[in-house]
């Protein structure tokens, strides 16, 4: 079950760097709010697969449910309830506002992940 995978770890690092660059330097209406959300589920998927040898679909479903859970916590205003509204790191990682479109972005990210895994498996 535990097995380090260099390929997924490398992808995790690359995706994390892209997400940081988006968070720091992109302030638009498409890449930051939508592409960032698509990429974050792929990032989480790659991170999990970096250390755990689990079936693709199981990890994809877990990541999707985890992402939905974080979005639900945003709906509940968890940042304010935890007193973290002044923490830029918490606000960036957890997020501050619920949006239905974010759920769609997470689904798109998981679909891209599953397509990528299917293509990779054929090689």
Q: Which CA distances in Å does 38 have to 1, 31, 87, 108? A: 27, 10, 24, 6
Q: Answer whether residue 75 is part of any domain.
A: no
| pTM confidence score | 0.93
Range(s) of the domain holding residue 18: 6-67+102-122
Domain count, the chain: 1
pLDDT at 47 over 90: yes
- Read off the pLDDT band of 11 (50, 70, 90): very high
Average pLDDT value for the chain: 95
Q: Answer whether residue 73 is part of any domain.
A: no
Q: Answer whether residue 61 is part of any domain.
A: yes
Q: Answer whether residue 91 is part of any domain.
A: no
Q: Answer whether residue 13 is part of any domain.
A: yes
pLDDT in tens, 64-103: 999 999 999 999 999 999 999 999 889 888 888 899 999 9
């Amino acid at each position: 079950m535990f097995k380090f995978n260099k390929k997924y770890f490398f992808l995790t690092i690359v995706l994390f760097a892209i997400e940081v660059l988006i968070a720091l330097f992109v302030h638009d209406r498409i890449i930051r709010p939508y592409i960032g959300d698509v990429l974050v589920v792929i990032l989480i998927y790659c991170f999990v697969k970096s250390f755990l040898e689990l079936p693709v679909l199981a990890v994809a479903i877990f990541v999707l449910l985890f992402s939905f859970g974080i979005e639900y916590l945003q709906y509940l205003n968890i940042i304010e309830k935890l007193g973290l509204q002044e923490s830029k790191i918490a606000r960036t990682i957890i997020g501050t506002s619920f949006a239905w479109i974010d759920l769609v972005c997470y689904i798109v990210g998981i679909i891209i992940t599953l397509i990528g895994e299917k293509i990779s498996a054929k090689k």
